Amino acid sequence: MKINTQYFDNETIIGWQKYLQNITAQQRVEYVLEYIQGPFALTSSFGAQSAVSLHMLTQIDKNIPVILIDTGYLFPETYQFIDQMSERLQLNLKVFKSQLSPAWLESRYGKLWSQGIEGLTKFNNIMKVKPLENAFDALKISAWFSGIRSNQSLSRNDKKVIEFKNSRIKIHPIIDWTDKDIYDYLQKHKLPYHPLWEKGYVSIGDTHTTQPLSTNMKPEDTRFFGLKRECGIHD
């Protein structure tokens, strides 16, 4: 019998965490899909190593909705990568956007990303967080998968395989994977990194808040000018 997400509490989540941490990423996905009541979705930014989660999830559930939040400021290479992976994996891609276009946003607020922490937070809320909530509501999503990993930044160190976030179950199947695990999976299945990976981009978001990794930088410093790591979706 599948468990409705409304019946999850902290004690239930802790029990699931203990079980899921001791099985493989693929088994985690299969177990969740079998025992938790959906609808489900996978969120993807189509970032540097996103082919892993896109492939893994769609091999288990080929029709799972893949939610992309398009800010209108993604790299040309990202849009090309989206097209490439969508065609190759036959993704059930669902694209959601803010009600404000980039031009309208800038007309109303200016370049928010250049206005410090407050501006960055406002930009992310308008262009990413709210559109994602709209996506969840429109698709009636009760549980969602994400491809984040704990070694990507300090802000993700304490993330578990499963958590309860904003009245929904959130699952991180590859949270404990290493860079080698990612590489091995991509090689095994002949999957590509994002095209900008070879140019030194280790974390890829919007053009105006992403830079390649350089000497004396930590990976999290390549996003949002080093002022913050998360956009609000994975906080």
In the chain, the domains with their CATH numbers are: 5-226 (3.40.50.620)
Instruction: Provide the 8-state DSSP code for 153.
Output: -
Active site residue 227: no
pLDDT for residue 198 is more than 60:
yes
Supply the DSSP string of 18-34, one letter for each residue: HHHTTS-HHHHHHHHHH
pLDDT tens digits, residue range 70-81? 999 999 999 999
Query: How far, in Å, CA of 88 to CA of 55, rounded?
Result: 10
User: Beta strand 168-171 with 162-165: parallel, antiparallel or unpaired?
Assistant: antiparallel
Mean pLDDT of the chain: 90
Query: Does 154 have pLDDT greater than 70?
Result: no
Matching residue, tokens 């990423």: 25
Please name which of 165, 182, 145, 162 lies closest in space to residue 64, comparing C-alpha atoms: 145
pLDDT at 29 over 70: yes
Tokens of 40: 């489900």
Report in angstroms the alpha-carbon separations of 155 from 72, 89, 99. 26, 31, 29
Inter-CA distances, 179 with 52, 58, 128, 174, Å? 12, 21, 26, 11
Say what the pLDDT of residue 150 is. Answer: 82
Q: With 90 as the cut, is the pLDDT of residue 215 above it?
A: no
Which residue blocks in the chain are alpha helix, DSSP H?
A: 10-20, 25-35, 51-60, 76-89, 102-109, 116-124, 130-139, 179-188
169 neighbors 5 (Cβ within 8 angstroms)? yes
CB proximity list for 121: less than 8 A, separation 6 or greater:
228, 232
pLDDT band at 134 (very low <50, low <70, confident <90, very high): very high
Q: Which of 32, 222, 231, 235 is catalytic?
A: 231
For residues 150 and 160, is the Cβ–Cβ distance under 8 A? no
pTM: 0.91
Q: Are 135 and 5 in contact (CB under 8 A)?
A: no
Residue keyed to tokens 């406002």: 122
pLDDT score, position 86: 98
- β-strand pairing of 143-145 with 65-69: unpaired
For the residues of 176-197, what is the DSSP string, one character each?
T--HHHHHHHHHHTT-PPPGGG
User: Which residue, among 127, 166, 169, 128, has the nearest Cα to 146 in the 3D structure?
Assistant: 169
**CA–CA distance, 79 with 56 (Å, rounded to integer):** 21
Say yes or no to pLDDT of 203 above 70. yes
